[in-house]
Amino acid sequence: MITDLDETLKQLLIQRVPLDPAEVEIAFDLPDREWTASLTKPALNLYLYDIRENRDFREADWVVERNGNKTGSRRRRPVRIDLAYMITAWTKAVEDQHRLLWHTLATLLRHPVLPEELLQGELRAVVERLELDVHMDTAQPDGIMKNPADYWSALDNELRPGINCVITVPLDLDLALTMPLVLTKVLRFPPPLKGMPEELVQVAGAVTAKGRPEQPIAGAMVSIKGRGLETITDEGGRYTLMGIPRGKHTLRVVVTGQPEREVGLDVPSATYDLEI
- Dihedral sign of CA atoms 32, 104, 28, 51 in order: positive
In tens, the pLDDT along 212-265 reads 888 889 999 999 888 888 899 998 888 988 888 888 989 899 998 888 889 888
How many helices and strands, by DSSP H and E, does the chain display?
5, 17
In this structure, what DSSP letter does residue 110 have?
T
**Interatomic CA distance for residues 144 and 54, integer angstroms:** 12
Confidence (pLDDT) at 176 = 44
Q: For residue 234, give the nearest of 215, 216, 254 by alpha carbon.
A: 216
Higher model confidence: residue 272 or residue 22?
Answer: 22
Max intra-chain CA distance, the chain: 92
- Between the alpha carbon of residue 212 and those of residues 61, 196, 269, 270, 274, the distances in Å are 31, 43, 22, 20, 11
Which of 273, 53, 84 is closest to 184 using CA atoms? 273
Q: What is the pLDDT of residue 9?
A: 98
Query: Which tens digit of pLDDT belongs to each residue from 47-89?
Result: 999 999 999 888 766 666 666 655 666 677 889 999 999 999 9
Using the predicted structure, report yes or no on whether residue 148 has a pLDDT greater than 90: no
Predicted pLDDT at 177: 44
Q: What is the mean pLDDT of residues 21-42?
A: 94
Q: Tell me what the mean pLDDT of segment 106-130 comes to.
A: 94
Q: Indicate whether 272 pLDDT > 90.
A: no
pLDDT of residue 175: 47
Report the interhelical angle of 2-16 vs 94-109 (nearest 10°): 110
Residue pair 173/5 in contact (Cβ under 8 Å)? The answer is no
260 contacts 276 by C-beta, under 8 angstroms: no
Counting Cα atoms < 13 Å in the Cβ hemisphere of 168 gives 17
pLDDT tens-digit readout, 166-204: 999 998 876 444 445 555 656 556 666 566 556 678 888
What structural domains does the chain harbor?
A: 2-54+79-170 (3.30.2000), 182-275 (2.60.40.1120)
Q: Which pLDDT score, from 0 to 100, does residue 211 have?
A: 83
**pLDDT tens digits for range 128-141:** 988 899 999 999 98
Between vectors from CA 82 to CA 115 and to CA 118, what angle results, nearest 5°? 15
Q: CA dist 138 to 95, 129, 240, Å?
A: 22, 26, 44
Task: Give the pLDDT band (50/70/90) at residue 149.
Answer: confident
| Helix H or strand E encompassing 126 | helix 121-130
